[in-house]
Chain A
């Protein structure tokens, strides 16, 4: 294709948007509404996913070590146990916490009354273990239990499994909803585009009669579809960006120091906006391409 022919297609596709006034408006509206839903939903799902990750990453195994009277012997045993745990498959990190530190934590959480125990500390030295994959925590805990000199291994047995299963279900439901929404978006938008193209089938027929090749007929329509996608994604991108930015500004300070955090504005908004734009363009192009194809068999 010659350069000036492409320029012509480019010009024609833009002119055509204006000429088809209401049809263009209808298509852009369909794109706008669906992409807005996709954008909002994606942001919500990505944040929920982040919350799920945060919760998962907070899960750890607490290993209470056997009490050994001889201090030197105890130190050797503890070092060996630490090394053994580190060598287990699926262990991310092991942190040692002495019984004095443990008491400090308790005092911090439950008040000064507990400081009476400083005279005779009933607690044990502890190892905190994190699994590389949080979901593997129960498995890793079972392995640690089998090692020598472990008095007790605690990881919230039962509750952790329930939590993981709940988070997994939420993720799957979210994924299904997003896929469903994408499917609906593609269907709705390409249908609207198809209706606008059906209204112009005479135009295609005449183009074919004067000897236009299929690609000559198709390219302006496909470019037009692309414009519809781009124009239709402007409002969703703007709304999603402004709303999320403001929510983030208000909510972020309140969640200071909490376990649950919102995703940062960057890169989240870039990712979502690129997704929305790309999706709009893809659906516009694809919808036009498929719809014109029907009329090219003249």
Chain B
């Protein structure tokens, strides 16, 4: 599902954030990406949804080779992914329903279908009763649930999450993790960058550790594995 082959990302200021990354993530896997701040986790994640373009090497996501992807093909490519951020990235002026429906309007889905799908995913994340509320009226955990609902509403093959529990208290973090597990059980591949040692050590999955722009450890059912 996700293949990287000797990927190098060098920023214009000379920083090398990915230094020969090679990895293969199979469909339906749940992968944690851990490592100290500034190790290159975010770049690793950004390379997957083509926020950043690699300097050299191959990035192949769900059959699409990002090296040869033209700029105008990027929107089409991103529709196969769901992306979740630490800061939720919701549109403050849209209510819960509109924020989720937005991802389907963009791909010109039929209005009837939009309504059906949005209600389905809001039920999955447990927010069906708050559809008319605005992000500012929701708790952090609820906002993240809206963000997750938006990321999965168009049935992506892969959900990429960059520190999704970073801004949440421990209890809420567990609720969010339960939702990710549920999504994963339904067959969606999940790649999650995180600093949450407790979660990684409790819900044991594949753990990829990045340091200095390189994969230094890759263990199935592993633990957090480094101090920091």
Contacts and interface: CB of A to CB of B under 8 A. Distances in A.
Contact of B107 (A1, A19, A211): A211
Contacts of B83: 209
A207 B108 contact: no
Interface in A194-248: 202-203, 205-214, 216
B89 A209 contact: yes
B111 A210 contact: no
A4 interface: yes
A295 to B, nearest CB: 14
B105 interface: yes
B79 A211 contact: yes
A211 B106 CA distance: 7
B105 to A, nearest CB: 6
B20 to A, nearest CB: 26
B85 to A, nearest CB: 9
B75 A212 contact: yes
B114 to A, nearest CB: 11
Contacts of A298: 51
Interface string B81-116: 001000001110100000000110111100100000
A202 B89 contact: yes
A113 to B, nearest CB: 86
Interface residues of A, number: 20
Interface residues of B, number: 22
A206 to B, nearest CB: 5
Contact of B75 (A1, A2, A5, A208): A208
Contacts of A1: 108
Given A4-B111, A210-B78, A211-B79, A216 B106 contact: yes
B13 interface: no
B110 to A, nearest CB: 9
A8 interface: yes
A209 B111 contact: no
Contacts of A210: 78-79, 102-103, 106, 150
A19 B93 contact: yes
A5 B110 CA distance: 10
Contact of B78 (A209, A214, A216): A209
B49 A209 contact: yes
Contacts of A206: 89-91, 102
A45 B185 CA distance: 74
**5 interchain residue pairs of minimum CB distance:** A211-B79, A211-B78, A210-B103, A212-B106, A213-B75
13 contacts: A4-B111, A5-B108, A202-B91, A206-B90, A207-B106, A210-B78, A210-B103, A211-B77, A211-B78, A211-B79, A211-B106, A211-B107, A213-B75
Given A207-B102, A211-B76, 15 more contacts: A1-B108, A5-B108, A203-B91, A206-B90, A206-B102, A208-B78, A210-B103, A211-B75, A211-B78, A211-B103, A211-B154, A212-B75, A213-B75, A214-B72, A298-B51
Interface of A: 1-2, 4-5, 8, 19, 202-203, 205-214, 216, 298
